[in-house]
Amino acid sequence: MTVPSSALPPSPTPDTTRARILTEAARLFVASGYHGVSMREVAEAVGVTKPALYHHYEDKEALFLAMLEGTLAGLSRLVAHAGTQSGVRAQLETLVGDLLASAPEQRVGLQLAGELRHVSPGRRAAFESEYRRVWMGGLTGLIEGAAARGELRGDLPPAMLTRALLALMYPLVMGAPPADPQGTARALLSVYLDGATAR
């Protein structure tokens, strides 16, 4: 089994000022946490005035959520690309290959998600609901399709199979990168699709 290098379609090119704002803000938030960063610091890092920054984002929460929404949009593209493949093995190899290719961005997204607790309850709930719909729902859709085709076990709920897949995939994007990302990905997919018992 080979985990393909990413052939993921490129994401839409954003407005360059907004892209710079998101990049610099992500760097600052990861380094200092949500409460450790001010809009003034973000503006200085980007090289724009505070009023220019507020022209793009109404407040710090909106900026922070825009970064997380960018991560979620990337995850949505991963699921959509995997869904174009034929068969669950090809779908999951594509998904994991794309996930590896985007691992640095996903690590930043996961680090930022840890700060979500500082966002107002309404905005946090809205983002979490969208996350469940896009990422969890997208993955579950792939798993449901595979189970319906007889490619995965039908005696376990698709939601449980999705959680098992996520548990195996998280080491690819959490903490320090594995020494052999491709080998790790192949091993994890083999455990998921073929089992861990001796053959």
Return the percentage of the chain with pLDDT > 70, whole number: 91
- Our measurement of the distance from residue 108's CA atom to the centroid of its chain's CA atoms, rounded to an integer in Å, reads 9
pLDDT value for 8: 47
pLDDT value for 59: 94
User: pTM (2 decimals)?
Assistant: 0.80
Identify the architecture of domain 15-57 in CATH: Orthogonal Bundle (1.10)
Q: Is 193 exposed, middle or buried (0-12, 13-18, 19+ CB in 10 A)?
A: middle
Rounded mean pLDDT, 72-77: 90
Q: For the chain, what is the mean pLDDT? A: 87
Identify the architecture of domain 65-194 in CATH: Orthogonal Bundle (1.10)
With a cut of 90, say whether residue 186 has pLDDT above it. no
Q: What is the 3-state secondary structure of the chain?
A: CCCCCCCCCCCCCCCHHHHHHHHHHHHHHHHHCCCCCCHHHHHHHHCCCHHHHHHHCCCHHHHHHHHHHHHHHHHHHHHHHHHCCCCHHHHHHHHHHHHHHCHHHHHHHHHHHCCHHHCCHHHHHHHHHHHHHHHHHHHHHHHHHHHHCCCCCCCCCHHHHHHHHHHHHHHHCCCCCCCCHHHHHHHHHHHHHHCCCCC
Q: Indicate where the chain has its CATH 1.10.357.10 domain(s).
A: 65-194
Q: Indicate where the chain has its CATH 1.10.10.60 domain(s).
A: 15-57
With a cut of 60, say whether residue 7 has pLDDT above it. no
